[in-house]
Amino acid sequence: MTPMDTRVLLSEPFTFTQQRPLQASGFLSEARNCGLRSSEQELEAFHRTRLLVPFYRFVRDGREIAAAHRRGKNGRRRDDDAYRLAHWRPSSRADLLAADEADQLRDPAAEPFIARRRLKRRVDEWSYESSVYLYSHHQLSAVPFLRRVSPLLKLRRAHGDLVGSLDVDRATAISLREQAKALRETAIAATLLEPAYYSRIFHRISLPRDEDFVAYDRWRRTRPLLRPLRTLQVDAVWIKKTAEALHSEASRIDPLGDWAEVIAAAEPEKWKTLRGDARAALELRVSAEFLLLYYDQLHRARRAAALPKPPAPFRGTLDDRIKRRRPLNDLLTDFGLSPHPHLVVAVEGETELTLFPRVMRQLDAPSDDDFIAVEDAGGVDRDLSPLVAYAIAPRLRRDESDRGYVRLERPPTRLFVVFDAEGKFATPAMRRKRREQWVERVMQTLPRELRTPVVADQIKPLVNVATWTRTGTSFEFAHFTDREIATAAAALDQRKEQPTVDKRVELVAKLRRERGNLDKMLGPISKVALADRLWPVLETKIETALERGTERRVPVVRMVHQAYALAIEFPRRNLVIALQPQPQRRR
């Protein structure tokens, strides 16, 4: 790249609208997040030795400040306008444009170094700096380089200040300055390209006024494609090689390794929480991505060759691009992560929905919804096909069928239905039929070529059906005696006239014999309130059973154990569906 005055960047629309120019303190703060702990004196030493030259020097108008001070207000020697002029700093694109128009902006790379002490000015009792240095956010890509060369800086005291110099031979100094020059050129290119592609990475855009979006969108769609190359005086190969160099450095320092792809898929606002080398590597990749998105556009317009793709299974330099390369489910599955639960337990109603999770916690079974989610099916006759089709049907990769299998794009979620034996679940045959219908519903979500008996046999374990007891007793009758249920109901009934406890016991016994519904006995009492009242009774029964080693005799404990076994049976990654019958293993 031919040396370019950074003020040219301001002639391009919308530069510095997304990531504003950084003052020295702001740059040092961001650099610390990236693992570079430097003082302002060291930052000045980097500038003096040309290892990190700021983007701009804003020159304050000393005559204007002096004149404003002389005018004063109300006889005060310290004039507010003068003080504001002496301490105001550019912080936006509009500020930079105004400073440039007033001939108050310089490119520090095109002028000799000026020590900060020479910039000090006094106006009676207060002082100010006659110039302020500004940095581009993309100069953070130089942080890894600066960390390596920091030990080579020699600080000495002169005129009361710390002055830095490079403690190396001449050839090494020249080499380091060439590296620093290349990093500065990289930052210039990323700053120039940022406005057009910022929203592609950060999923948002910031403009001074709402009406600017129309102008911005028009500029983005109509800007000449080759204009950035002409402005930078480079070609497409330079763009590609520069991005590759940034990625190579990021891969070298990033402690996250393969996890960098997961970080890239996260909400960009959370990237700010990274620290040290992980943050520095991310900043490198962000700068590189602006270049690569532009290169992608050049390639689509046949102005650049395609980016190289290494043969599988080898990784390429650009494999850790910020740009997502595969669906989120696929990515998370590769890392054994998923927002989808291992298992969905569908229970019949509110009583089970209230008590089942409590039993899970009592047994120390993981009760997080992303492990085992307990759902209210709303009755045995409710159609669960939509739930089966959405939550249970596997998501498959479509590019591996020629290998004799297809890999799951996301970890499988299994279904465990635990109902009372009534309605369409009344008999074992009816329950088998309903399970077959759900398996068939899952099969219908698969591509037609995969709807084979071989695949169906592998889908069946995803759908499981059970009842609380072999005889099909309801949840309440399977766990509580007639008197326990009647006593709990009597305690909740607030009516003035109500049956006696003995009468309630008789009514509950009759409902048990006839397989009736407890709603007929409860009246105004809700199932949730009854479940809350019965919970201490069930909790005590389970504790007693655990002490005696007879917990398997408690139906809900048995179902929790079965649910846990189903949830952990399948791995969360590297799971495939075979397309051909698999040979039986010899025992």
Q: What angle do CA 579, 582, 587 make, to 5 degrees?
A: 160
CB-CB neighbours of 194 under 10 Å: 24
Q: Quick one: tokens of 219? A: 């500029």
Give the C-alpha separation, 380 to 33, whole Å: 56
User: Is residue 107 a part of any domain in this protein?
Assistant: no
* Among candidate residues 275, 295, 325, the one where a domain is terminated: 325
Give the C-alpha separation, 101 to 95, whole Å: 10
**Residue 259 half-sphere exposure, CB side, CA atoms within 13 Å?**
8
**Mean pLDDT per 10-residue segment, the chain (587 residues):** 86 92 95 93 92 94 77 58 81 92 94 86 79 96 95 77 78 94 96 93 82 84 93 95 95 91 88 94 96 95 90 76 78 79 90 94 86 83 77 73 76 89 81 90 88 91 90 88 92 83 90 81 83 95 94 93 91 83 64
Helix axes 236-253, 170-202, angle to 10 degrees: 100
Tens of pLDDT along 268-327?
A: 889 999 999 999 999 999 999 999 999 999 999 999 999 988 776 667 788 888 877 777
Q: Which pLDDT does position 2 carry in this prediction?
A: 73
Q: Which pLDDT does position 478 carry in this prediction?
A: 92
Cis bond upstream, residue 339 (ω within 30): no
Residues 282 and 409 grouped into a single domain: no
User: Is residue 401 a part of any domain in this protein?
Assistant: yes
Alpha-helix runs per DSSP H in 20-165: 24-33, 40-48, 62-71, 80-87, 93-101, 143-149
Residues 311 and 354 grouped into a single domain: no
**Phi, psi torsion values for 404, nearest 5 degrees:** 90, 5
User: Is residue 421 a part of any domain in this protein?
Assistant: yes
Q: CA nearest 138: which of 7, 15, 321, 261? A: 15
Alpha-helix runs per DSSP H in 423-548: 428-444, 453-459, 475-479, 482-492, 501-513, 519-522, 527-548
Q: Which pLDDT does position 422 carry in this prediction?
A: 77
Q: CA nearest 288: which of 304, 302, 307, 266? A: 307
CB-based contact 138:186 (threshold 8 Å):
yes
User: Is residue 51 a part of any domain in this protein?
Assistant: no
Q: DSSP string spanning 135-168?
A: E-GGGGGGHHHHHHHGGGEEEEEETTEEEEEE-S
With a CB cutoff of 8 Å and minimum separation 6, the contacts of 161 are 41, 115, 116, 117
> In this structure, are strands 343-347 and 372-376 parallel, antiparallel, or unpaired?
parallel
414: left (phi > 0), else alpha (psi -120 to 50), else beta?
A: beta
Distance separating the N- and C-terminal Cα atoms of the chain: 69
Residues 202 and 296 grouped into a single domain: yes
Question: Per the structure, how many domains does the chain have?
Answer: 2
Give the C-alpha separation, 318 to 543, whole Å: 57
Q: Which pLDDT does position 79 carry in this prediction?
A: 59
User: Is residue 363 a part of any domain in this protein?
Assistant: yes
Residues 283 and 400 grouped into a single domain: no
Residue 34 burial (CB < 10 Å; 0-12/13-18/19+)?
A: buried
With a CB cutoff of 8 Å and minimum separation 6, the contacts of 219 are 13, 14
Q: Quick one: tokens of 21? A: 């120019």
Amino acid at 170: R
| Tokens 């494609």 sit on residue | 225
Tens of pLDDT along 487-522?
A: 998 898 887 778 888 998 999 899 888 888 787 777
Q: How far is CA 112 from CA 49, 106, 109, 165, 220, in A?
A: 11, 11, 8, 15, 37
Cross-strand partners of 57: 106, 133
Q: Which pLDDT does position 398 carry in this prediction?
A: 61
Which residue range is the domain that position 293 belongs to?
140-325
* Among candidate residues 325, 353, 387, the one where a domain is terminated: 325
CB-based contact 168:54 (threshold 8 Å):
no
Give the C-alpha separation, 86 to 62, whole Å: 8
SS3 488: helix
Residues 244 and 356 grouped into a single domain: no
Residues 363 and 498 grouped into a single domain: yes
Residues 269 and 412 grouped into a single domain: no
Q: Quick one: tokens of 404? A: 């004799």
Q: Quick one: tokens of 101? A: 């128009």
User: Is residue 532 a part of any domain in this protein?
Assistant: yes
Whats the size of the chain, residue-wise? 587
User: Is residue 241 a part of any domain in this protein?
Assistant: yes
* Among candidate residues 274, 294, 325, the one where a domain is terminated: 325
Residues 255 and 353 grouped into a single domain: no
Amino acid at 400: E
Residues 361 and 304 grouped into a single domain: no
Give the C-alpha separation, 186 to 184, whole Å: 5
Residues 313 and 362 grouped into a single domain: no
Residues 245 and 201 grouped into a single domain: yes
| Tokens 């307990």 sit on residue | 374
Residues 279 and 204 grouped into a single domain: yes
User: Is residue 196 a part of any domain in this protein?
Assistant: yes
Helix (H) or strand (E) holding 129, with range, is: strand 126-129
